[in-house]
Amino acid sequence: MKIRIFAKLKHQTTYLESFAQGLRAHGHDATVEGHSGYQPCDLAVFWGHRFESIIEGQRSRNLDYLVMECGFLGDRLEHIGLGFNGLNGNATFYPVDDDSRGREFHDLIKPWQDDGDYYLICGQVMGDASLAGVDYVPWVQSLPRCVDGVPVLFRPHPKGAHHMVTAHPYTSASLADDLAGARAVWTWNSNSGLDALLAGVPVVAFDRGAMYWHEAAHTIGETVKPDRVAMVNRIAWCQWTWDEIERGIAWDHLKQRYE
């Protein structure tokens, strides 16, 4: 099996070298190379979802690619998402029906909030790969500013506040404080939606790429309160620690795709 690992930026090389080390633990001759040297392979591995030429090259030949990205539960820099042929919820993962990985995150699940003073839009960074297929600013601007007398607030992403222009009142509180007063969270597919569900705030998600798509409502005014223990158990199988990646434990699970 030919596996090639591609990096575009220097910091990506550091991340990807950990995955290469894990592959070598399984006997694969794995090194990190520049993205400009792409050649088709059984599996292309890279960080993020911006390697358009590699993605198209693999897809056009019915070959796989594996996306590394920040994790979803807990410390997102200590846990790395690994999914085949897509980003976030558009990727293929291989969760197992048990709680062996999810138990450490169960204490993140808080009781459902019965009410709130506002609806909260959780903004995202313009140009992020997770926003592919949506004209994001007009979409945010199209959302109602009040629902049945309850105001709608906009929480800009900490890295993208200056890119957004909307008539919704802004909030600059911490995410925890913003969630504490929210009746529901509206989001295209931000990971803040997962934070909201864990905090006990119902979510309306509008893109199937959200990791919690099946646990969210999809229409404003609809409320869904899902089984969050099952959600956490599933998502825990979609992310791995650096140690698990370097020791090849992550690949030992992912390689089932080829068995």
Q: What is the pLDDT of residues 86-111, one digit of tens each?
A: 999 999 999 999 999 999 999 999 99
Lowest average pLDDT, out of 1-10, 111-120, 200-209, 223-232, goes to 1-10
> Rounded to an integer, what distance in angstroms lies between the CA atom of residue 162 and that of residue 172?
13
Q: What pLDDT shows up at residue 162?
A: 59
pLDDT mean over 188-213: 97
Q: How many CB atoms lie under 10 A from the CB of residue 36?
A: 8
Residue in the block written with tokens 């791995």: 240
Percent over 70 (pLDDT), the chain: 98
Q: Do domains 3-94+237-258 and 107-234 have the same CATH topology?
A: yes
Cβ–Cβ under 8 Å, residues 113 and 160: no
The whole-number pLDDT of residue 12 equals: 83
d(CA 227, CA 122): 22
Q: What is the distance between the terminal CA atoms of the chain, rounded to a whole angstrom? A: 12
CATH number of 107-234: 3.40.50
Q: Is 138 helix (H, G, I), strand (E, B) or coil?
A: helix
Q: 242: part of which helix (H) or strand (E)? A: helix 242-246
Amino acid at 175: L
Q: What is the pLDDT of residues 13-64, one digit of tens each?
A: 888 999 999 999 999 998 899 888 789 999 999 999 999 999 999 999 999 9
Look at residue 17 and give its three-state secondary structure: helix
**pLDDT higher than threshold 70 for residue 161:** no
CA pair distance 32, 34, nearest whole angstrom: 7
Strand 79-84 relative to strand 239-241, pairing: antiparallel
> In which band, very low, low, confident or very high, does the pLDDT at 172 lie, cut at 50, 70 and 90?
confident
Q: What is the pLDDT of residues 127-154, one digit of tens each?
A: 888 999 899 999 999 999 999 999 999 9
Could you give the CA distance from residue 212 to residue 129 in angstroms, rounded to a whole number?
17
Question: Which string of DSSP letters, residue by residue, matches 33-68?
Answer: EEGGG----SEEEEESS--HHHHHHHHHTT-EEEEE
Token pair 């864990």 is at which residue? 198
pLDDT at 66: 98
Tell me, what's the pLDDT at 237?
Answer: 98
**In angstroms, rounded to a whole number, what is the distance separating the alpha carbons of residues 5 and 198?**
34
Please count the CA atoms within 13 angstroms of the CA of 137 that sit on its side-chain side: 10
Classified as helix, coil or strand, 82 is strand
Q: Taking residues 202-213, what's their average pLDDT?
A: 97
Topology given in CATH for the domain delimited by 3-94+237-258: Rossmann fold (3.40.50)
**pLDDT at residue 163, as a whole number:** 63
Domain ranges of the chain: 3-94+237-258, 107-234
Residue 241 predicted with pLDDT over 90 = yes
